[in-house]
């Protein structure tokens, strides 16, 4: 019976997504501003 | 004596003279070291941890923090005298200037360490005994490494607004391998372990010194020349 | 092609690559959560491995490139090299942040402790501090030539510090046997796990390339804008 630690998995997957998508999104919005100018 | 060596010693002498005239950084570093030792004494539980277990770490954290303060003295000297700019106008090889600054910094940090060690023995009741020459050697070996990196980073940090903050931020990661090596070797020396048990650490210290003193000497001209 | 136009085309390429990589990341999430089997002894938390290891790889890649390109800059003095190094450092911070957060989240259920001074975690912690120092120095210097030279020195010194960190951790571990906790051993990964890991590594690498390209383009655009502002 595997240990019940799904919560950790969810936390890690959420944090990773927040950091990477967040950073990418921030750069992306700056990119949009550059392309529009 | 080769010209470069003579120049390096001249640079070192000038820096040391400048500091001896003002004496501020040296004194504050020594007082700081003493205070850190006092704090460590009250921070530990004497019944839980023996002095010999904690001793190497306490000693080296104190050395590291005091060295940082001593390296900061370079800023006051530079800012008040603009000494470096004058030196750079002359056709002096940059490696010699670096060597001179390194020697001056070693003199300061070495002095702070030399004063801190007896204080440490006093406050912590550590019996150095036969370990003293070994500890002096390990201290010298570790100090050369991080002071070399500290010297070049000082030259960079002095050009920034928060130089006193920039230096530790840049330097601390580079202090870790010499610190670990020094603490491990000192710990074994204090326990009277045979030399064979610390060879790995001593090699680490020596290799670090060779690599970083060379690199910093070579990189110095990139920092001071346009 | 003007600098501004060149910058725009690089930004466009970066945005495209990043978008593809993020789609890939979504696919990796699916693969890791659905396709890869659950490890019996370690449970679901083991799946953090599919994010943690590739982000470590990306962080190390970012850092190595900062170091190598810094060395090249000191030799060739090409401002493009400096721009690339700065971009790689910033992207490296993001991947290091992922590593430093997923590391403890993974370690706690698997090893029983939030932090272990094992080689990988310790190294990433150092990479993080070196990145931060590098970027802090850049932020504190105004003159572009001085900023480029100084950060290049920090970059190359930092790269050469890495083997010493490794050596220190190695010496520390061999002479200080660590208590045997529930150690995750993966002598041979089942094929589904290996495939997922490889896909993830590929996606993370693509994400690195996309983000660095985008960051580089943005820096170039910023410089072009400043120059136009000066000329006006």
Residue C115 to residue B75: CA distance in whole angstroms: 37
Q: Does C184 fall in a domain?
A: no
Question: Six-digit token pair at C1?
Answer: 């092609």
Q: Does C77 fall in a domain?
A: yes
Give the model's pLDDT for residue C182. Answer: 40
Torsion of CA C16, C17, C19, C23, to 10 degrees: 140
Burial class (CB in 10 A: 0-12, 13-18, 19+), B130: exposed
Query: Stretch C156-160: mean pLDDT, rounded?
Result: 95
Contact C178, C53 (CB under 8 A): no
* Confidence category of residue B83, pLDDT binned at 50, 70, 90: low
Expressed as residue numbers, the domain containing B102 is 3-224
Highest mean pLDDT among A13-22, B95-104, C176-185: A13-22
Residue B24 to residue B80: CA distance in whole angstroms: 13
Q: Does C93 fall in a domain?
A: yes
- pLDDT higher than threshold 60 for residue C107: yes
Helix (H, G, I), strand (E, B) or coil at C43: strand
Query: Stretch C8-16: mean pLDDT, rounded?
Result: 95
Domain count along chain C:
1
Q: Is C94 on the interface with A (CB under 8 A)?
A: yes
Query: Stretch B81-88: mean pLDDT, rounded?
Result: 69
- The verdict on a CB contact (< 8 Å) between C133 and B169 is yes
Contacts of C181 (CB under 8 A, 6+ apart): C111, C112, C113
Touch test B–C: 3 Cβ pairs or more under 8 Å: yes
Q: Which residues pair with C39 in a beta bridge?
A: C43
* Confidence category of residue B49, pLDDT binned at 50, 70, 90: low
- pLDDT higher than threshold 80 for residue B25: no
Q: Does residue B45 or residue A17 have the better pLDDT?
A: A17
Residue-averaged pLDDT of chain B: 86
Contact C227, C3 (CB under 8 A): yes
- pLDDT higher than threshold 90 for residue C88: yes
Q: Does C231 fall in a domain?
A: no
- pLDDT higher than threshold 90 for residue A27: yes
Give the model's pLDDT for residue C183. Answer: 47
Count other Cβ atoms within 10 Å, centred on residue C3: 14
- Give the C-alpha distances (Å, rounded to integers) separating C110 from B171, B202, C105, C143, C178: 34, 35, 9, 48, 15
- pLDDT higher than threshold 50 for residue C181: no
DSSP string, A1-37: -----HHHHHHHHHHHHHHHHHHHHHHHHHHHHHHH-
Q: Give the DSSP H/E element, type plus range, for residue C28.
A: helix C3-30
pTM: 0.89
Residue C27 to residue C29: CA distance in whole angstroms: 5
Quick one: DSSP state of residue C41? T
* Confidence category of residue B172, pLDDT binned at 50, 70, 90: very high
Q: State the smallest CA–CA distance between residue C16 and chain B in angstroms.
A: 35
Give the chains touching B; criterion: ≥3 Cβ pairs < 8 Å. C
- The verdict on a CB contact (< 8 Å) between C45 and A17 is no
DSSP string, C80-139: HHHHHHHHHHHHHHHHHHHHHHHHHHHHHHHHSSS----HHHHHHHHHHHHHHHHHHHHH
Residue C10 to residue C33: CA distance in whole angstroms: 34
For testing the chain A interface, which of C2, C45, C217, C229 should be mutated: the one with the most A CBs within 10 Å?
C45
- pLDDT higher than threshold 60 for residue C108: yes
Give the model's pLDDT for residue C180. Answer: 45
User: Residues C20-77: pLDDT tens digits?
Assistant: 999 999 999 999 988 888 887 888 888 898 999 999 999 999 999 999 999 999 999 9
Give the model's pLDDT for residue B80. Answer: 61
- The verdict on a CB contact (< 8 Å) between C44 and A24 is no
- The verdict on a CB contact (< 8 Å) between C141 and B173 is no
Give the model's pLDDT for residue A14. Answer: 95
Question: Six-digit token pair at C117?
Answer: 């001074």
Reported ipTM: 0.91
- The verdict on a CB contact (< 8 Å) between B177 and C168 is yes
Expressed as residue numbers, the domain containing C131 is 3-178+190-223
Give the chains touching A; criterion: ≥3 Cβ pairs < 8 Å. C
Give the model's pLDDT for residue B41. Answer: 81
- pLDDT higher than threshold 50 for residue B23: yes
Q: Does residue B130 or residue C202 have the better pLDDT?
A: C202
Residue B65 to residue B56: CA distance in whole angstroms: 14
Q: State the smallest CA–CA distance between residue C129 and chain B in angstroms.
A: 7
Residue-averaged pLDDT of chain A: 91
Q: State the smallest CA–CA distance between residue C2 and chain B in angstroms.
A: 28
Q: Does residue C2 or residue C83 have the better pLDDT?
A: C83
Residue B21 to residue B12: CA distance in whole angstroms: 14
**At residue C39, what are phi and psi to the nearest 5 degrees?**
-75, 125
* Confidence category of residue B90, pLDDT binned at 50, 70, 90: confident
What is the percent of chain C with per-residue pLDDT over 70, rounded to a whole number? 94
User: Residues B113-126: pLDDT tens digits?
Assistant: 998 999 888 888 78
Contact C25, C75 (CB under 8 A): no
Give the model's pLDDT for residue B29. Answer: 82
Residue C164 to residue B153: CA distance in whole angstroms: 19
Query: Stretch B177-195: mean pLDDT, rounded?
Result: 90
């Amino acid at each position: 019976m595997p240990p019940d630690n799904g919560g950790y998995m969810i936390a890690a997957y959420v944090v990773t997504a927040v950091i990477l998508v967040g950073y990418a999104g921030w750069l992306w919005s700056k990119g949009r501003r550059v392309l529009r100018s | 004596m080769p010209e470069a060596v003579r120049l390096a010693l001249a640079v070192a002498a000038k820096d040391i003279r400048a500091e001896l005239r003002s004496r501020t950084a040296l004194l504050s570093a020594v007082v700081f070291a003493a205070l850190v030792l006092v704090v460590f004494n009250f921070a530990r539980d004497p019944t839980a941890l023996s002095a010999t277990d904690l001793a190497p770490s306490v000693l080296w954290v104190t050395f590291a923090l005091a060295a940082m303060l001593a390296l900061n003295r370079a800023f006051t000297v530079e800012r008040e005298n603009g000494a470096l700019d004058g030196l750079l106008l002359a056709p002096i090889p940059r490696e010699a200037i670096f060597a001179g600054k390194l020697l001056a910094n070693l003199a300061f940090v070495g002095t702070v360490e030399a004063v801190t060690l007896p204080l440490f023995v006093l406050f912590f009741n550590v019996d150095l005994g036969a370990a003293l020459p070994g500890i002096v050697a390990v201290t010298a070996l570790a100090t050369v490494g991080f002071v070399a990196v500290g010297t070049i980073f000082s030259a960079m940090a002095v050009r920034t607004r928060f130089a006193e903050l920039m230096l530790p931020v840049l330097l601390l990661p580079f202090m870790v391998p010499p610190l670990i090596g020094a603490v491990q070797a000192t710990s074994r020396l204090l326990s009277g372990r045979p030399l064979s048990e610390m060879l790995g650490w001593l090699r680490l210290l020596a290799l670090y010194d060779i690599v970083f003193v060379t690199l910093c000497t070579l990189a110095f001209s990139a920092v001071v020349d346009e | 092609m003007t600098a501004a136009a060149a910058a725009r085309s690089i930004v466009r390429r970066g945005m495209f690559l990043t978008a593809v990589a993020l789609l890939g990341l979504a696919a990796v999430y699916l693969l890791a959560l659905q396709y890869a089997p659950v490890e019996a002894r370690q449970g679901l938390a083991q799946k953090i491995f599919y994010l943690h290891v590739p982000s470590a790889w990306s962080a190390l890649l970012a850092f190595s490139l900062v170091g190598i390109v810094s060395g090249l800059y000191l030799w060739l003095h090409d401002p493009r090299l400096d721009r690339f190094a700065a971009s790689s450092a910033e992207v490296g911070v993001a991947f290091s942040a992922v590593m430093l957060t997923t590391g403890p989240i993974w370690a706690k259920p698997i090893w029983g402790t939030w932090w272990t001074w094992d080689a990988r975690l310790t190294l990433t912690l150092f990479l993080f501090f070196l990145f931060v120092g590098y970027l802090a120095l850049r932020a504190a210097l105004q003159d572009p030539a001085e900023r480029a030279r100084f950060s290049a020195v920090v970059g190359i010194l930092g790269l050469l510090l890495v083997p010493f960190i490794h050596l220190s951790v190695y010496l520390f571990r061999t002479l200080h046997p660590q208590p045997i906790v529930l150690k995750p051993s993966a002598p041979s990964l089942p094929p589904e796990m290996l495939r997922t890991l490889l896909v993830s590594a590929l996606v993370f690498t693509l994400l690195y390339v996309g983000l660095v390209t985008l960051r580089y383009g943005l820096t170039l655009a910023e410089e072009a804008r400043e120059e136009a502002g000066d000329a006006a």
